[in-house]
Amino acid sequence: MDFKNIEVKKEGKIAIVTISREKALNALNAETVTELKAFFHNHWRDEDLLGVIITGAGKAFVAGADIKELAECNVISAEEKMRIGQYLMHLIENFPRPVIAAVNGFALGGGCELAMACDIRLASEKAKLGQPEVNLGIIPGYGGTQRLARLVGRGKAKQLIFSGDIIDAAEAYRIGLVDEVYPVEELMNKALELANKIASKAPIAVSKAKECINKGLDVNLSNGCDFEKVSFSTIYGTTDCKEGLNAFMEKRKAEFKGE
Ligand code: DAK
């Protein structure tokens, strides 16, 4: 599939996906959502891919769902739009490789929701984040009410969503909405550095750890630990597990193969 609204560049085993609709501050229109979905579908089983970085072209990460399209929705099409958008967030959240959001600028509404569906959020000092949907008479529709509360707690999530306030990177870091903040010019290098560091670890272990953390947050501690137990024993069947343990005993660097 040829993409019109996203650019995909491969740096070694890491894919950098840049949302490139600069004229609309990278707002997520239906076509962009479809292209992002296609990217994650196409690479679901790509063994040559060990991480994804999502960023935005120009001064925005993503300024939200496309308001011009939202204005044309009726009850039926809004639900359809929501289902497709939420499915994209679900795809990203459950993608077997780590997905890092490099939040370079505005991450508002659907843009903040996209960042929250990623595993880790790195922001530039210029990033601005928020869920300003109430200004438009709507609420977050791509999982924002759920993921924001899980990330920053219910009080802060309510404060942000009810007020529509847009916060800067320092405040987003303070409340745990982003995980690191870097000068603008360092953001992409830092994101690649982190993605490559993760890529040097045992890929199945990283993937299973992601699954355990995600699943565990939706169930009670005991069920989460049960899931971890099963995943742990599954990993014992991998070549990489033997390699990692042997390499330590032999005082050498492990060479992981992803099997
Ligand atoms: N959608 C469409 N176009 C957008 C846009 C957006 N979200 N954000 C910006 N643009 C466009 C502007 O209209 C403008 O286009 P032209 O007028 O030049 O044609 C261009 O991008 C540049 O924007 P500005 O001229 O406004 O740039 P500034 O630097 O002055 O301001 C800004 C930047 C980010 C503060 C401002 O653009 C802004 O306030 N944008 C809207 C931010 C926003 O409210 N985002 C949340 C959108 S609502 C649902 C699914 C999902 C959602 C809800 C329901 N269901 C399916 C039911 C999610 C909703 C949202 O995300």
pLDDT at 206 over 90: yes
Residue 78: Cβ-neighbour burial (10 angstroms; 0-12, 13-18, 19+): middle
pLDDT tens-digit readout, 31-88: 999 999 999 999 999 999 999 999 999 999 999 999 999 999 899 888 888 889 999 9
Task: Give the rounded distance of the alpha carbon of 81 from its chain centre.
Answer: 19
Is the minimum distance from the CB of 21 to ligand 1 under 6 angstroms? no
Phi, psi of 75 (to 5 degrees): -55, -45
Q: How much of the chain exceeds pLDDT 90, in percent?
A: 94
Task: Give the rounded distance of the alpha carbon of 76 from its chain centre.
Answer: 28
Cβ-based neighbours of 145, under 8 Å, separated by 6 or more: 139, 157, 161
Is the minimum distance from the CB of 63 to ligand 1 under 6 angstroms? yes
Phi, psi of 104 (to 5 degrees): -90, -15
pLDDT tens-digit readout, 108-135: 999 999 999 999 999 999 999 999 999 9
> Stretch 200-215: mean pLDDT, rounded?
97
Give residue 215 CA to ligand 1 midpoint distance, Å.
Answer: 33
Q: In what order do the strands lie in the sheet with 180-182?
A: 6-11, 14-19, 51-56, 99-103, 120-124, 180-182
Alpha carbon distance 22, 56 (integer Å) = 8
Pick from 5, 22, 25 the residue to mutate for probing ligand 1's pocket: most ligand atoms within 8 Å of its CB: 25
Domain with CATH 3.90.226.10 in the chain: 6-199
Is the minimum distance from the CB of 107 to ligand 1 under 6 angstroms? no
Give residue 137 CA to ligand 1 midpoint distance, Å.
Answer: 14
Pick from 67, 70, 86, 116 the residue to mutate for probing ligand 1's pocket: most ligand atoms within 8 Å of its CB: 67
pLDDT at 1 over 80: no
Is the minimum distance from the CB of 149 to ligand 1 under 6 angstroms? no
pLDDT of residue 163: 98
Q: In which residue are the tokens 């529509």 written?
A: 164
pLDDT at 167 over 90: yes
Q: In which residue are the tokens 């999530």 written?
A: 157
Domain with CATH 1.10.12.10 in the chain: 203-249
203-249 under CATH 1.10.3720.10, yes or no:
no
Between the two ends of the chain, the Cα-to-Cα distance in Å is 29
pLDDT of residue 105: 98
Pairing of β 128-130 and β 106-108: parallel
Cβ-based neighbours of 13, under 8 Å, separated by 6 or more: 48, 49, 50, 51, 196, 199
Give residue 219 CA to ligand 1 midpoint distance, Å.
Answer: 35
Is the minimum distance from the CB of 110 to ligand 1 under 6 angstroms? yes
Name beta bridge partners: 99: 52
Alpha carbon distance 42, 189 (integer Å) = 25
pLDDT of residue 251: 97
pLDDT at 216 over 90: yes
Alpha carbon distance 238, 202 (integer Å) = 10
Cβ–Cβ under 8 Å, residues 109 and 132 = yes
Average pLDDT, the chain: 96
Fold of 6-199: 2-enoyl-CoA Hydratase; Chain A, domain 1 (3.90.226)
Beta carbons within 10 angstroms of residue 139's beta carbon: 12
Of the candidates 54, 172, 171, which has an alpha carbon nearest to the alpha carbon of residue 102?
Answer: 54
pLDDT of residue 2: 86
Beta carbons within 10 angstroms of residue 235's beta carbon: 17
Confidence tier at 158 by pLDDT (50, 70, 90): very high
Quote the tokens at residue 156. 């802060």
Active site residues: 113, 133
pLDDT tens-digit readout, 130-141: 999 999 999 999
Give residue 142 CA to ligand 1 midpoint distance, Å.
Answer: 15
Q: In which residue are the tokens 């809004």 written?
A: 78
